[in-house]
A and B are shown apart, each in its own frame.
Chain A
């Protein structure tokens, strides 16, 4: 075994080195590695201390778990190695709801085991208010003394009934992974994860002319398993795999009492279906074959099946309506997926490389089809409708080649053809041709430049608006996922190593999607950006880095309120600036004191304009501004310990016309949650002792 690997290593050195290294393996019997650290070792570190957050902000707490008040700083890592084993233990943020614990190790060359536990808090808002006293339940009841009304202005008990509502979802995930590398050519791997997601989110529920935002329970369990076996021969390898995902929702419905006066008798409540339980199974076979040292054939096939068979809810909870029988008790949902890929890549000599790839992907929705008689928003029985399972397939063929002119210049170009067939679109077939070219310049160690151009053109062969658009839709509408489109893009990046320790990187690009045949719908979108990065590392005692990015995203849409022509236009423009800078001082005054300061800034302005020919009021800009400053000081103590002071301030301001000033009763026919756009200025400081052993 040892000889085998050593010989392989020498062979590879021979390959990359040519004749210069054609030599025998050295006699390593005297290589005792006496200066190497002992093979048996234990090392690691732990941190223990306290932290304080001076204010409550859900947005600041989002993903971090940094709640107002004090918290425990606890974490650490440990490494244990023996002649045969290697084990690592890591723990982070144990005092917060974003904690993580992991154990990873085993006998290298034999097996590897990984266990992990991760928490991820997602905090959406704490500024919401709801009238439902049992928010978070799957069946919402109106508060005692509630006064229904035809509109929010008439809800006289509203103010007294509103209660604070916090929208948040917490994830907990348990991971187990085992990898086996027995002697020989087989490798095996099993990964399993079990994730819980619980909390409350908001969802809209209406009755035709009135609607409310409703607190909705989230109680998900997702299990995933990934098993693979790899056989690696000298010239080829193959992998057989299975992936399974099992989603379970303990809350299959949300039922709520209508806060408005019923539009029709009996419509005193509604019911929504929540995410149904589902499964996904996929079998995969992938392989690579090396035909000589220059050519490689790669292929894979994946066959998957999505299943969903939750029992249907009734058409309506409105007992005053005639109860039509359901045609089926459940969907018997089944979607088969096929993904086939074949690729050949080859080096034609030392300078040229070519690649050809073909891919076929199919989503075949084989779910049951039946005539349903929907009850529109629990109000009235509608005409029977057939459900229409959505299927599509996509074929792509691409070819590309690159050629190295000399040590400094490399050019590459490629073409791609894609054919898309959809079962439910006005354009059942679309074809797209693409071409790209890239130039790479590497002038010594000083300059590295890259520019890429891309052009593509998509056409729908037989656009038939009558095929799928509802009868009331404007036939001039073209949906952007199939509409004719011309796409152009250029991107460039240049890295300059100005001095030995100074590096400057400039990057930028422009992209445009032009939907020139879309009279109604998305007409055009443009994206531009430019970035500058600077890094200065004069010595091992200091580091300075800074970046700036400017982005501009524009979109143009046309639409109408009638059935012919275009009678209004909408356009948006988002401009985002991001800036960051950081400086590090290490080993200050040779006393092992480290200090770092980091600053980030991001400001976004979003313009939203509607032009309908009338003199309407403009929209105020959508703005967000984030500023963060972190200062970290590491002060050494005796015995390999240190004291760490970590201060962080984050300020966030935002204005959002969709939320600002929208109290629960602001809209005549809509009961909102009264959320406000987040703003905060939070200081967080932590001081902790860290011991390294």
Chain B
């Protein structure tokens, strides 16, 4: 029954959608033999080999939901009716393009996305219509590849390269002195970001920056007896998660990092210069400046649970 309603709804609403300015055309027929029609030209030896799709979940015959499940429309589930594309053409006549996901098809990105969402709507893609990627007119195939055994966007080792095609700054960050291990294939962009949904800030997988970070850094979560606001609010206040020239992904070096928010708290906020470096002219190598700077004593910057840790030194 639901299927009938869906079809009726589709037919009923179709005039209000993108094609409303076009005159009704004759329906394009489906191919005669389904995938067998397509594979006569698009087999492994063709210009666009596609057979690896049968090694993917899309090509699995046992999944009744998948394009090649029993009774499904096979290649034409996604590419649309292929009767014209596969039909005879006169000498000199250009072969009509298949309806979707092909050069010259004329389909818009949004139309093609709707085809993917027909099966993948819901779950992690529920927020796609309002996502940043959708707003930038990205198509599912801007990132995903269907006819290969390994979709690069779904493999931790290759996914960052897919993202870097647009996110060039993040690629540069991955090469910096202090980074998360993206370039070693040990973490993927999608471990922190949800590319299909921008409900949370920065399209994060968790509700806040901190909750996302605690997924791997639960030791920082607390709550601690002595807290250090705004640490509990936003790890990004002090850290650049994609990469930094400074240790521990910090935005700046200590002590200047800390002196952005602390002046004379307990002891003077000294103007520490090159005179205080190892071998400096001042002869006063400063523990406030060298190695971990303020962290040489105030080491519990993420909070302390020690009853005497009020100054984050215990």
Q: Is the CB of B281 within 8 A of A43?
A: no
The binding surface of chain B is classed by DSSP as loop
Instruction: Tell me whether A559 and B271 are in contact (CB under 8 A).
Output: yes
In the complex, are the beta carbons of A6 and B71 less than 8 A apart? yes
Residues in B whose Cβ lies below 8 Å from that of A670: 287, 290-291, 296
- With A9-B72, A326-B307 in contact, do A308 and B223 touch (Cβ < 8 Å)? yes
Complex interface: chain B residues within 8 A of A337 (CB): 207
- Specify which chain A residues have a CB less than 8 angstroms from the CB of B305 in the assembled complex: 273, 276, 308, 310, 312, 331
Tell me if A617 and B269 are in contact (CB < 8 A). no
Q: For chains A and B in complex, what number of residue pairs have CB atoms within 8 angstroms?
A: 547
Is B253 part of the contact surface with A, judged by Cβ < 8 Å? Answer: yes
Are the CB atoms of B277 and A657 closer together than 8 Å?
yes
Interface bits B54-79 vs A (CB < 8 Å: 1, else 0): 11010111111110111111100100
Asked if B51 and A86 sit within 8 Å, CB to CB, the answer is: no
Contacting residue for B126 out of A6, A237, A372, A567, CB 8 A: A237
Question: How many Å lie between the Cα of A337 and that of B123 in the bound state?
Answer: 23
B7 & A363 in contact (Cβ 8 Å cutoff): no
- Given A204-B297, A312-B307: A334 and B223 within 8 A (CB)? yes
Please, which residues of chain B bring their CB within 8 A of the CB of A160?
A: none
Q: Are A33 and B308 in touch, CB under 8 angstroms? A: no
Q: Is the CB of A18 within 8 A of B299?
A: no
Q: B287 near A669 (CB under 8 angstroms)?
A: yes
- Identify the closest chain B residue to A181 (Cβ): B65
Contact A661 to B278, CB < 8 A, known contacts A17-B19, A666-B285: yes
Identify the stretch in A19-27, A138-146, A589-597, A631-639 within 8 Å (CB) of chain B at 4 or more residues.
Answer: A19-27
B18 to chain A: which residues have CB within 8 Å? 16, 18, 350
**Chain B, residue nearest A529 (CB):** B169
| Shortest beta-carbon contacts, A-B, top 4 | A18-B19, A31-B34, A108-B63, A617-B274
- Chain A residues near B2: list those with CB within 8 A: 4, 234
Asked if B265 lies at the interface with its beta carbon under 8 angstroms from chain A, I say: yes
CB distance from A456 to the nearest CB of B (A): 14
For B137, what are the chain A residues with a Cβ–Cβ distance below 8 Å?
410, 440, 442
Find the A residue at minimum CB distance from B226: A387
30 A–B contacts, CB within 8 A, in A order: A2-B72, A6-B73, A9-B73, A13-B80, A17-B111, A20-B28, A21-B99, A34-B36, A108-B66, A222-B218, A224-B215, A239-B123, A239-B126, A247-B218, A273-B309, A331-B225, A341-B199, A387-B226, A390-B233, A424-B227, A472-B266, A479-B261, A481-B234, A493-B166, A522-B260, A529-B169, A604-B177, A606-B246, A622-B245, A654-B177
Distance (whole angstroms) from the CB of B98 to the closest CB of chain A: 12
Is the CB–CB distance between A624 and B177 below 8 Å? yes
User: Given A616-B273, A660-B278, A361 and B291 touching (CB < 8 A)?
Assistant: no
CB distance from A149 to the nearest CB of B (A): 16
A68 on the B face (CB < 8 A): no
The chain A residue sitting closest to B117, CB to CB, is A12
Instruction: Establish whether residues A343 and B287, one from each chain, have CB atoms under 8 Å apart when the complex forms.
Output: no
Interface size, chain A (Cβ < 8 Å) = 204
Is the Cβ of A43 less than 8 Å from the Cβ of B55?
yes
Contacts of B19 in A (CB 8 A): 17-20
Shortest distance from the beta carbon of A488 to any chain B beta carbon, whole Å? 17
The answer to the question of B279 belonging to the interface, with a C-beta cut-off of 8 Å to chain A, is yes
Q: Are B307 and A278 in contact (CB under 8 A)?
A: no
B195 CB → nearest A CB, Å: 17
The residues of B that contact A234 with a CB separation of less than 8 Å are 2, 5-6
Option from B77, B123, B219, B261 in Cβ contact (under 8 Å) with A247: B219
CA distance A85 to B60 in the complex (A): 8
Assuming the A-B contacts A273-B309, A617-B275, are A331 and B223 also in contact, with contact meaning beta carbons closer than 8 angstroms in the complex?
Answer: yes
Contact partners of A668 in chain B: CB under 8 A: 284-285
Per-residue contact bits, chain A 294-311, to B (CB 8 Å; 1 contact, 0 not): 101010101000101010
Is the Cβ of B214 less than 8 Å from the Cβ of A31? no
* Cβ distance A174 to chain B, nearest Cβ, rounded Å: 15
Are B264 and A561 in contact (CB-based, < 8 A)? yes
Indicate whether A431 reaches chain B with its CB closer than 8 angstroms.
no
Q: A2-B64, A20-B19, A28-B74 are in contact. List 14 more A-B contacts (CB 8 A).
A: A8-B118, A18-B19, A19-B24, A98-B186, A109-B69, A206-B313, A230-B123, A278-B218, A293-B17, A326-B307, A374-B311, A529-B168, A572-B256, A661-B277
**Would you call B225 and A14 a contact (CB within 8 A)?**
no
B306 within 8 A of A: yes
Give every chain A residue within 8 A of B296 (Cβ-Cβ): 204, 206, 211, 213, 670
CA distance in complex: A300, B271 (Å): 49
Q: Are B274 and A619 in contact (CB under 8 A)?
A: yes
- Give the residues from 264 to 314 in chain A that come closer than 8 angstroms, CB to CB, to chain B: 270-273, 275-276, 278, 280, 286, 288, 292-294, 296, 298, 300, 302, 306, 308, 310, 312-314
B-side interface residues, number (CB < 8 Å): 163
B293 CB-CB contact with A under 8 Å: yes
A315/B287 in contact, CB under 8 A: no
Q: How far is the CA of A390 from the CA of B229 in the complex (A)?
A: 7
Shortest B119–chain A CB gap in Å is: 8
Q: Mark B165-188, 1 if CB is under 8 A from A, else 0.
A: 110110110011100010010100
CB of B259 within 8 Å of the partner chain: yes
Instruction: Let me know if B122 is at the binding interface, CB within 8 A.
Output: yes
Residue of B24, B172, B279 with most partner-chain A CB within 10 A: B172
Query: Which residue of A83, A533, A610 is within 8 Å of B272 (Cβ)?
Result: A610
* CB atoms of A28 and B306 under 8 A apart: no
Judge whether B3 is part of the interface by a CB distance below 8 angstroms.
yes
User: Which chain A residues lie closer than 8 Å to B4 at the CB level?
Assistant: 7
For A16, give its contact among B6, B111, B220, B230 (CB under 8 Å).
Answer: B111
Name the contact of A35 in the complex, choosing from B16, B43, B171, B279 (C-beta under 8 A): B43
Q: Which residues of A contact B35 (CB under 8 A)?
A: 31, 33, 35-36
Q: Does A647 contact B (CB under 8 A)?
A: no
| Residues A31 and B123 in contact in the complex (CB < 8 Å), given A20-B24, A367-B223, A666-B278 | no
Interface pair A211/B297, CB less than 8 Å apart:
yes
Knowing A98-B184, A473-B263 are in contact, say whether A9-B118 is a contact too (CB < 8 A). Answer: yes
- Shortest C-beta distance, A440 to chain B (Å), equals 7
Residues of B contacting A187 in the complex (Cβ-Cβ under 8 angstroms): 123
Bound CA–CA A626/B224 (angstroms): 39
Residue A587 at the chain B interface, CB threshold 8 Å:
no
Contact A617 B271 (CB under 8 A): no
Q: Mark B115-149, 1 if CB is under 8 A from A, else 0.
A: 10111001100110110000111000000000001
